[in-house]
Amino acid sequence: MRFVAPGLLAFALLIVAHVVIWRARRPAGEYAALAVLGAGVLAVALATFRVIPVPLGSASGWLPQSPLEHITAIGLYAALFLSYVTTYSAVQADSPTMTILLLIERAGAVGCTRAELRARLDDRVLVLPRLDDLVSGKLVRLDQGRYVVTARGTLMIAPHIRFRRWLRMEKGG
């Protein structure tokens, strides 16, 4: 219990804080804000775990006490946070695959054709918003009508290019 509950509890707190804050006001730099929130919730949780054994008395048996219990809780929380951010990225931007599936389902018994899907999902829906994301995230700059990768963009893309080469896989997308 002491190895699992603290990490899960801190993670549940993160989800609640995320929903409440984002519904009230969605920050501009979402992922940086989410990272700050993640670190803040962990700090608050660890501080609370140190303070509440006194009022809880014998009911505090599930709280971390030893260094291993603390480190296990932090490791579990960090891993859950990474998987949470991954899931949130699919929430934040519409996935073409999921959109295609939903469009086909909505078409019902008559189904839909490739041309109908292409008409609904054009460059203005699938490509240009992501290009705008890159510019607003300062990964790409717009220079006299030309899109140029910034140093930050190069830093972000390098591990992916290298990793695809290791896997011997072609360009994705």
Partner 1 sequence: MSALLTAATLGLVPFVALLACIVAHVLVSRALPELPRHHGLVLGALTGLAALAALALPPIGLAAAPGDRVGLGVAWTLTYLSLVYWYVFGFFNLGESSRRIRLLVELRAAGDRGLTRAKILAAYNARMIVDARLGRLLAGGQVVERDGRYFTGKPLMLWGAKALVLLKLVFLGAPSEFARVRSGKR
Instruction: Find the distance separating the first CA and the last CA of the chain, reported in whole Å.
Output: 42
In the set 29, 31, 89, 138, which binds partner 1 (CB under 8 A)?
89
Shortest Å, Cβ 115 to partner 1: 9
One residue of 50, 59, 98, 138 binding partner 1 per CB under 8 A = 98
| Binding of residue 168 to partner 1 (CB under 8 A) | yes
Question: Binding partner 1 by CB under 8 A: which of 12, 35, 56, 161?
Answer: 161
Q: Which one, 44 or 112, has the nearer CB to partner 1?
A: 112
Q: Locate tokens 């971390």: which residue?
A: 64
Q: In this chain, which stretch among 42-50, 52-60, 92-100 interacts with partner 1, using CB under 8 A? A: 92-100
Residue listed under structure tokens 């480190």:
71
Residue 102 — left, alpha, or beta (φ > 0 → left; ψ -120 to 50 → alpha)?
Answer: alpha
Q: Is 38 in the site for partner 1 (CB under 8 A)?
A: no
Which of residues 55 and 166 has its CB atom nearest to partner 1 in the complex?
Answer: 166
Tokens of 152: 């930050």
- Cβ atoms of 39 and 90 within 8 Å: the answer is no
Which among 70, 52, 76 has a CA at the least distance from the CA of 2?
70
How many residues bind partner 1, per CB under 8 A? 87
CA distance 167 to 173: 16
Enumerate residues 127-146 that contact partner 1 by CB under 8 A.
127-131, 133-134, 139-140, 143, 145-146
> CA–CA separation, 172 vs 154, rounded Å?
17
Site residues for partner 1, 67-86, by CB under 8 A, read 67-68, 70-76, 79-80, 82-83, 85-86
